[in-house]
Amino acid sequence: MSHIFRVALDTPVRRLFDYLAPLQATAQPAPGVRVRVPFGRQRRVGVITEVAQDSEVPPARLKPILQVLDATPVLDASLQELLRWAADYYHHPLGEVLASALPRALRLGAPESAREERWLVTAAGMAAVAAGEPRRAAKQRALLAFLREQREAGAAALAERFGNWRAAARALTARGWIASVEVELERPPAPATALRTPGPTLLPEQSEAVAAILAARERFGAFLLHGITGSGKTEVYLRVIEQVLRAGRRALVLVPEIGLTPQLLERFHERFEVPLALLHSGLTDQERLGAWRDAFSGRARIVLGTRSAVFAPLADLGVIVVDEEHDASFKQHEGGFRYSARDLAVMRARHAAVPVVLGSATPALETLHNVLNGRYARLTLARRAAQAQPPTLKLIDLRSHAVRGGLATPAVLAMERHLAQAGQVLVFLNRRGYAPTLLCTACGWLAPCRECDARLTVHLAAGRLRCHHCGADLPLPPRCPQCGFAVKPVGQGTERVEETLGTLFPSAPIARLDRDVVRRPQDATGVMRRMASGEARILVGTQMVTKGHDFPNVTLVVVLNADQGLFSTDFRAPERLAQTIVQVAGRAGRGSRAGEVLIQTEFPDHPLLTHLLAEGYEGFARAALEERAQAAWPPFSRLAALRDSARTAEAALAFLTEARTLARHPPSGVRLLGPVPAAMHRRAGRYHAQLLIESRERRALHEFLDGWLPEVEQLKSSRAVRWSLDVDPIELY
Ligand code: ADP
Ligand code: ZN
Ligand code: ZN
């Protein structure tokens, strides 16, 4: 009986496809190896997941594999196991899950290691040269002579010498005089550890943390490294990684956004003289392939990357670090396969029997819950490492002060004071653009987006009106298109705050950091350099300013408006707001001087703010977890969201309603909530809706989904909508 090869293909279909052994088989391809197979009328690249004895498909209808692409699996056994687990847990087709773990170039069939095309002269070619051939074609003649002289040459060398040489090479190949081979590019092996600098003497808390993590070196252990910004978490990562490298193993480090953390990258480079593979979304396909190959071949000793780097191939993994583990960007919330890289990192560490370190100043409530129930160990760094004082936080009641351009008088006075004392000031506002609304004062027109239930944002410098939800981009109208009267921007965005500050403090140079200024990762570097050098005195920015930068001379942080997150329908909004405030506050006073943080609000008595101010993030988290427990929200229950969008509101609701009807008798403990239209019902011309599935028990939820989803997929109404399932959703409608 010949073997059957079960192949996962990158399709949304929830099944694997069986193939016969390739006709010119040399060795049996193993699971984890890529193959090219016929698929309908196409050829596709897939990954072997299993070698079986028989198939449900009659043998006569099975087709052989066309080509085996890898000699060794591109996904090793432990990655295969992790991906299979992920496909189960997120209820997503295995083919798409495996595909998401491979760079695009590999999905299209590129070789797994860098190869070079080399050309040489055949025996027949030697004889031909001896006989004075070729007589006429000058280029062929020169090429042949060159190759004979060099014995062999790479394609790059030939291009350099002859320019366009392919046609000549083809002619010579056709006569059998020259031939090409593909050889693996040899790269010098990297030293296991090469320390450039030893790093500072660790503080007692840091030493304890390093020791605790290293004690779990040969087994699984999950650690929350909880410490405010500047408490020395990165130093702990570096020391643990140093020991891991010394043991001849490798480290995987996940960060939310690489463009925003050049300082972290710099610290790795300063500390270690070992090849580091960088994997992030700003890479071209070729760069990503190169980084993946460095990881796969084992050349890279450290892999540093964003979300999808959790799937990077790494032999001899020794530790996984997830920095800023609370960050929402670790959750993939677009497309089909919606995974949490943080949660998968923990699972990967478990499979690989290595420690995983989750670092944060503001841990996710889920993570804190895991600490409280004993699953994760907490390591605390309570003080700032470099003798800096924690900042003091104060609220400014927007109702009882004069406000100009979004700035209350006490905030302006504080800025004056800090600037006069040579401090730098950071102003945070989570809204880019000039103003969130354009208003006609005569007829009340509010510049709505035609495709969304949202208003267009004014971008004054660019002279545009833009929708931040669908990307619509229109010229800024000089007058009201409805009545022809004058229009005026209402409210504050970072662009406008920059303008206001310019008039208030004409002698203080201002820098801005938001998605409009930073279009590519390297754009952030210039802004940060201006701040670091002290050339800029004030930094205005969105969420971006809360991440990673260390500006030791910032002594004052002003949060312009804390209120956006206070009254959201999403039960996670308070957590996000508290994290943002604490993170942005952490930017103050990182040098030797104590920092001051002012938070403007219209609700100074709101419990979230009062808890946060009185007891810090810890106090907030305790109160928030209690609330979640009472309402039975995660982490005290498990959630999945079935979401869809359609051209009409009716179609969007119809599918979810039918899906709900299929589950008329859900198992006990499983509840279906909805369907409900999304808070922003229409977005980019489509209507969005959501059906929540909630369960006390994780297992009950997954058993339910296992039975229900295949039926949901069969629904006729599913064809009229785009739908997806989000397990452990972090943003709710
Ligand atoms: P975090 O990652 O928690 O923000 P870092 O590791 O970046 O903290 O440390 C903050 C600052 O303190 C950095 O400038 C770092 O070089 C310094 N630092 C960290 N640990 C020590 C130490 N043990 N002794 C002296 N300086 C330290
Ligand atoms: Zn008008
Ligand atoms: Zn829009």
Can you give the pLDDT at residue 387? 55
Can you give the pLDDT at residue 522? 72
Can you give the pLDDT at residue 373? 94
Residue nearest to atom 23 of ligand 1 (CA): 202
- Encoded tokens for 183: 């050889």
Can you give the pLDDT at residue 189? 61
Query: Would you say 263 and 255 are in contact if contact means Cβ atoms under 8 Å apart?
Result: no
Ligand 3 centroid distance, CA of 457 (Å): 10
Ligand nearest the Cα of residue 388 is: 1
Can you give the pLDDT at residue 184? 67
Ligand nearest the Cα of residue 198 is: 1
To 10 degrees, the CA torsion angle through 614, 617, 622, 623?
A: 60
Residue nearest to atom 6 of ligand 1 (CA): 232
Q: How far apart are CA 690 and CA 674, in angstroms?
A: 7
Q: How far apart are CA 434 and CA 59, in angstroms?
A: 66
Can you give the pLDDT at residue 187? 60
CB-defined site of ligand 1, < 6 Å = 200-203, 206, 227, 229-235, 385-386
Cis status of the peptide bond prior to 675, with omega within 30 of 0: yes
Give the closest residue to 116 by CA, choosing from 186, 188, 182. Answer: 182
Query: What SS3 class is residue 667?
Result: coil
Q: How far apart are CA 84 and CA 651, in angstroms?
A: 33
Can you give the pLDDT at residue 26? 66
Ligand 2 centroid distance, CA of 479 (Å): 8
Ligand 1 centroid distance, CA of 239 (Å): 12
Ligand 1 centroid distance, CA of 537 (Å): 24
Can you give the pLDDT at residue 436? 95
Q: Quick one: which atom of ligand 1 is closest to the CA of 235?
A: 6
Tens digit of each residue's pLDDT (9 = 90 or more) over 156-165: 788 888 888 8
- Encoded tokens for 242: 């140093």
User: Who's near 665: CB < 8 A, 6+ residues apart?
Assistant: none
Can you give the pLDDT at residue 385? 64
Q: Look up residue 18 and give its DSSP letter.
A: E
Within a 13 Å sphere around the CA of 164, how many CA atoms are in the beta-carbon half? 1
Ligand nearest the Cα of residue 441 is: 2
Tens digit of each residue's pLDDT (9 = 90 or more) over 70-96: 988 999 999 999 999 999 999 999 999
Q: How far apart are CA 88 and CA 294, in angstroms?
A: 29
Q: Quick one: which atom of ligand 1 is closest to the CA of 237?
A: 6
User: Is the four-CA dihedral 366, 367, 372, 374 of positive or negative sign?
Assistant: positive
Residue nearest to atom 10 of ligand 1 (CA): 230
Ligand nearest the Cα of residue 268 is: 1
Q: How far apart are CA 240 and CA 57, in angstroms?
A: 51
Ligand nearest the Cα of residue 447 is: 2
Pocket mutation for ligand 1, best pick of 202, 210, 234, 260 (most atoms within 8 Å of C-beta): 234
Residues of the chain with pLDDT under 50: none
Ligand 3 centroid distance, CA of 404 (Å): 29
Residue nearest to atom 15 of ligand 1 (CA): 232
Q: How many other CB atoms are found less than 10 A from the CB of residue 56?
A: 6
Residue nearest to atom 4 of ligand 1 (CA): 230
Ligand 3 centroid distance, CA of 721 (Å): 19
Give the H or E element holding residue 534.
none
User: Is the four-CA dihedral 585, 588, 592, 594 of positive or negative sign?
Assistant: negative
Pocket mutation for ligand 1, best pick of 203, 205, 235 (most atoms within 8 Å of C-beta): 235
Q: Which residue has the tokens 């058993």?
A: 703
